[in-house]
Amino acid sequence: MDRNRLLTWTLWAPSTLLMAGLLSGCSPAAWDMDGPMSFFQPQGTLAAIQLDVLMVALWVCIGIFFVTGGLYFYTLIRYRSRPGDEARIPAQLHGSTAIEIGLVAIFVVLLTIIMVPNVRALFIMDDLDTIERAELVVDVKGYQWWWGFEYPAQGIRTANELHIPVGTKVTLNLTSDNVIHSFWVPKVAGKLDVIPNQLNRMWFEADTVGVFQGQCAELCGASHANMRFLLVVHEQADFDAWVEAQARPARPVTEGVDPAQVALIERGRAIFLQNACIGCHTVSGTHALGQAGPDLSHFGSRREIAAGMWGNTHTALAAWVQHPADLKEGSLMPNLGLSDDDAAAIAAYLLSLK
């Protein structure tokens, strides 16, 4: 390679990288890396510990990348073939004990640096004492394709929305009766597999009040990507109020609602309770005791429908109860052929269950 071409390359390579960086959207948001599923801004003890582990490994790898890459390019340029070199055969070497021992030693040191925070994190995450003494226990069940959350001590059940108080250690008992799922709230809690015929336990703790995204993180079938949930972190008093509300038998909340709407809710309730819905869904305080689908006792208080598919609005809900499997790939809720009017009435009823 002659001088000019070398010069062209040394200018081209960095400017191409720079352009790529600019084009890929160097917006401030991207630099913060603070998207809803980002673990770079942890809001919980476990997420913070896991980020530390990642960062140590990342910096070690970045170091290795630049040292080996640098040596590579240095050798390429320093020992490139020059005019008149053709006849010369470079000195033939075989091995170097010093370099080999040195490399082994360097990697033992680097791997030890990565190992220390990993082992420390494992001891904290798997500490049985913490798991057993947690102030709140929630049984988490992975279904196809939604999440069931049960609070045994509080006697409440909900779906696709996990509520906890801030600054409290929570233990989750994770199980599945179908395939393997994985529980994951990147900002707050780590990730743990949800396995049939096996109880997996984890603890976590949220540092800030807020609503955080969760997602199934193990390919589990057609709607794996639609198996989301929300983690709602409350102040203790708000959490207690939520528990109290969820523990009450479900009833349509109709205070201050106009009479036409109340009539619609009543009609929806009648249709719901006469329909096949009750074979799969529970609404506490009624004869709807089904277990195959999410508990709908306080459905009106939920933020989203069908594991994070849509916001919980009347339009989305009416569309869902009419065409579940068309709207959510592989959904196990059947199409019961509801008319538009019946779907609207059922949606009004379910939304009134606060």
Which parts of 213-242 interact with ligand HEC (CB under 6 A)?
Answer: 223
Among 30, 55, 225, 276, binds ligand HEC (CB under 6 A): 276
Picked from ligand HEC, Cu ion, none, the partner binding residue 346 (CB below 5 to 8 A depending on kind) is ligand HEC
- Would you tell me the crossing angle of helices 314-322 and 340-352 to the nearest 10 degrees? 120
Picked from Cu ion, ligand HEC, none, the partner binding residue 76 (CB below 5 to 8 A depending on kind) is none
List the x/- string, 162-181, binding to Cu ion by CB under 5 A: -------------------x
**To the nearest whole angstrom, how small is the minimum distance from the Cβ of residue 342 to ligand HEC?**
8
Is residue 220 near Cu ion by the rule CB under 5 A?
yes
Which residues, including other chains, have CB under 8 Å from residue 47's CB and lie 6 or more apart?
39, 185, 186, 187, 188, 189, 190, 204
**To the nearest whole angstrom, how small is the minimum distance from the Cβ of residue 144 to ligand HEC?**
7
**To the nearest whole angstrom, how small is the minimum distance from the Cβ of residue 221 to ligand HEC?**
10
Query: Would you say 187 or 302 has its CB closer to ligand HEC?
Result: 302
Is residue 321 near ligand HEC by the rule CB under 6 A?
yes
Q: Which phi-psi region, left, alpha or beta, contains residue 231 (left: φ > 0; alpha: ψ -120 to 50)?
A: beta
Is residue 306 near Cu ion by the rule CB under 5 A?
no
Is residue 307 near Cu ion by the rule CB under 5 A?
no
Query: Would you say 125 or 350 has its CB closer to ligand HEC?
Result: 350
Task: Tell me if 148 sits within 8 A of 113, measured CB to CB.
Answer: no
List the x/- string, 180-219, binding to Cu ion by CB under 5 A: -x----------------------------------x---
Picked from Cu ion, ligand HEC, none, the partner binding residue 272 (CB below 5 to 8 A depending on kind) is ligand HEC
Is residue 145 near ligand HEC by the rule CB under 6 A?
yes
Query: Would you say 143 or 203 has its CB closer to ligand HEC?
Result: 143
Picked from Cu ion, ligand HEC, none, the partner binding residue 119 (CB below 5 to 8 A depending on kind) is none
Picked from Cu ion, ligand HEC, none, the partner binding residue 331 (CB below 5 to 8 A depending on kind) is ligand HEC
Rounded CA-CA distance 260/267 in Å is 11
Interior CA angle at 205 toward 199 and 208, to 5°? 145
Stretch in the footprint of ligand HEC (CB under 6 A) among 18-26, 54-62, 205-213, 292-300: 292-300
Query: Would you say 134 or 138 has its CB closer to ligand HEC?
Result: 138
Query: Would you say 51 or 253 has its CB closer to ligand HEC?
Result: 253
Give me the residues that bind ligand HEC (CB under 6 A), please: 145-146, 159-160, 223, 272, 275-277, 279-281, 292-294, 296, 299, 305-307, 321, 328, 331-334, 336, 338, 346, 350
